[in-house]
Amino acid sequence: MQPISDQPQVRDVRHLGDFSTTPRILVITALALPVGAVAGVTAWALLRLIGLITNAIFYHRVDTQLVAPGSGHSPWWVILLAPTLGGLVIGVMARYGSEKIRGHGMPEAIEAILLGGSKVEPRVAVLKPISSAIAIGTGGPFGAEGPIIMTGGALGSLFAQFLRLTADERKTLLVAGSAAGMAATFNSPLAAILLAAEMLLFEFRPRSLIPVAGAVCVATIIRQPLLGSGAIFLANATLHIDLSTYLLCLVSGVISAILAVLATALVYASEDTFRRLPVHWMWWPAIGGVIIGIGGLFTPEALGVGYNIIRMELTGSIGLGLVVGILITKTLIWSLSLGSGTSGGVLAPMFMIGGAIGALEAHVFPEVGLGFWALIGLAGVLGGVMRSPFTGIVFALELTHQWDALLPLIIAAMTATGISVLILKRSVLTEKIARRGYHLSREYDVDPLEILFVGEVMTTDVVEFTEGLDVATAYAALEAPDDNYAAWRQQLYPVVAADGTLAGVVPRGELFAATHGDKEATTVGELVTSDPVVTHADQTLRHVAELMAVAGVTTMPVVDRDDPTRAVGIVSLPQLLFGRARDQQEARERERVLRIRLVGR
């Protein structure tokens, strides 16, 4: 193996580009636009359905306006029984319709992408929004965004399944539907695109980001005449930020991270408890509904989506008693009932809980502006729970249009994310997947094989055979004791014709078979593979790895790009691992590069 040179080699890399995008992206983008339109309308329909059920159950009227279950004076038995009956209906729908409607949407979408080839069953697209509307409309403390993410993704997946597309292209349309639905729900196009990149696509490539962005833009435009174009929780506070504010944002991020960790632990402690119950899982959502109802008796404002409470938190118009009630009750009933497997999202509850912890901090921290600390707490809890800080920061800005809070939001969200990832291995969104026996890594970096070239690691001291060489002679040359270990390890040998051009290759196994009578051949030429998989010295190791995976080989000849009939080396799987080894070395080995030397000593 040739060592990697300390000096960069001058090579022609004009055949390589920053991205591997092809004109196929135009086709997928065109397909994503109608997916975004349908997802936008679906988001509106889901919100209206939630409003219809809420009005019917708690206010005994026919209306589709989104209202809070706890704003009226419903009898105690309605508050207690409504979520219980709602949970019972969801359990029946899950058992006899589709079990995939259980959960808060994001893990199910991730599972469909990673494990299901981005294929979603048609009935999920119908049952998921209905079950979620029932869960939230009967008082469930959940958000509409998780269900619409799953529903929009299901619509995109169904559309893709009618077409002849690759799994990656189906994934793009699934995520396009999910992100479009979320953008239409919150009027947050940039946050939706960031969430798609951080949580659903598992890549940052134009081939998927551009179609997703197209779908999100269409959904947001369609939202405007249906749900309005302004910020969901518009904040017009004048902020007075100084150095102490930044330091307290750091403190707020720490507090938010602790709350996020506790809430996540409660969700899965609840799930573990439900798994131990001696009853069928169909009944779990109803039991979760009892928990919701009991919490609603103490703090009715904790029921439902809670947009009105979030608005009060972000405008500084919420009292201390209600803040404490929301913080305790909402956290408990959300986390404990979510573990029952009911249907509902996590973002809106995190907004309310984060806003509550921030509103509580506002009674201790100095005044910066109305609702400022609630906004900081919202972003911090979102970053700590989802571990998607960019999404949390942009979400907070798009929800409130409080643009001058950008730097404080970065401090709080990044602090909460950092503490969360140090304490918990997985987030509330990925733990569910891990519990099913699958692993998901959310670290994105440049593949070390992408920045190393074949010419840097290939073997150039290559053993070649001529076509007319006797098989026995060739094999005997490999077995000769005179320092032929490298030749033995080569495993694949170029074969040249009489005119010196590359005729093909012969594997060592073929020589062994012919020598030991398992295969009839007298000359090396009779064993030649005349059309081998080849690469070039100016190709990246990642390209070689992909070629090996597709062709099912572990060694291939390296040919001259200008003269493909001339072999210049051999590259094999162990040499590909050299790139990984260097990456590990850079990550683990510590060294001092610069030193201070005092003159005269």
The CATH architecture of the domain made up of 243-434 is: Orthogonal Bundle (1.10)
Check for a shared fold between 24-227 and 448-587: no
The dotted CATH code for 24-227 is 1.10.3080.10
What pLDDT does 248 receive?
96
Q: What is the pLDDT of residues 79-94, one digit of tens each?
A: 999 999 999 999 999 8
Average of pLDDT values for 158-178? 91
Edge to edge, the sheet with strand 535-536 lists 535-536, 555-559, 567-572
What pLDDT does 518 receive?
67
The pLDDT of residue 271 is above 50? yes
Q: Which tops the pLDDT comparison, 111 or 507?
A: 507
Average of pLDDT values for 491-509? 87
The pLDDT of residue 32 is above 90? yes
What pLDDT does 105 receive?
66
Q: What is the pLDDT of residues 36-67, one digit of tens each?
A: 999 999 999 999 999 999 999 999 899 998 88
The dotted CATH code for 448-587 is 3.10.580.10
pLDDT confidence tier of residue 478, bands split at 50, 70 and 90: confident
**Nearest 5°: phi and psi at 532?**
-75, 160
Of 55-64, 77-86, 220-229, 482-491, the range with the lowest mean pLDDT is 482-491
The pLDDT of residue 415 is above 90? yes
Measure the CA–CA gap between 564 and 198, rounded to whole angstroms: 42
Do 378 and 260 contact (CB within 8 A), yes or no? no
What pLDDT does 102 receive?
81
Domain boundaries, the chain: 24-227, 243-434, 448-587
The pLDDT of residue 338 is above 50? yes
Highest mean pLDDT: which of 149-153, 218-222, 530-534? 218-222
Predicted model pTM: 0.84
What pLDDT does 6 receive?
44
Measure the CA–CA gap between 592 and 46, rounded to whole angstroms: 58
The pLDDT of residue 482 is above 60? no
Average pLDDT in the chain: 86
Q: Which tops the pLDDT comparison, 209 or 437?
A: 209
The pLDDT of residue 8 is above 70? no
DSSP 229-273: SS-TT---PPP---HHHHHHHHHHHHHHHHHHHHHHHHHHHHHHH
User: How many distinct helices (H) and strands (E) make up the chain?
Assistant: 24, 6
Measure the CA–CA gap between 565 and 502, rounded to whole angstroms: 5
pLDDT confidence tier of residue 438, bands split at 50, 70 and 90: confident
Q: Report the largest interatomic distance among the alpha carbons of the chain, rounded to a whole angstrom.
A: 97
> How many residues does this entry show for the chain?
601
Do 566 and 559 contact (CB within 8 A), yes or no? yes
